[in-house]
Amino acid sequence: MYVVNLIGTMRAATPTHRSNNHCVDLNDNAPVFADGATDTVSVNEGGTTVGDYNPADAEALTRCLVPAAAQTVEPTQLTSPLEG
């Protein structure tokens, strides 16, 4: 299982949303993440940004199988505790 942490930074606060996603490893090679261990997406205030993080099989170079429930993530509003 690979853990994806969505971290929104806003002023001095850093609200975090954690999402567990399963990548099915069908052979003896671990998944390869083209973006490396981390990826960054910037969002303008009041805007929406969509990013992706796609693992692939090291031998076949095809995308890993991800359960349908993990393919769609509902938007999560990250709020700063400083804004009350």
Instruction: Give the model confidence (pLDDT) of 32-73 as tens digits.
Output: 776 666 666 666 666 666 666 666 766 665 555 444 444 444
Q: How many Cβ atoms are within 10 Å of 78's Cβ, its own excluded?
A: 16
pTM (two decimals)? 0.35
Percentage of the chain modeled with pLDDT above 70: 4
Every domain of the chain and the residues it spans: 1-69
CA dist 50 → 15, 19, 43 (Å): 18, 16, 9
Q: How many Cβ atoms are within 10 Å of 53's Cβ, its own excluded?
A: 14
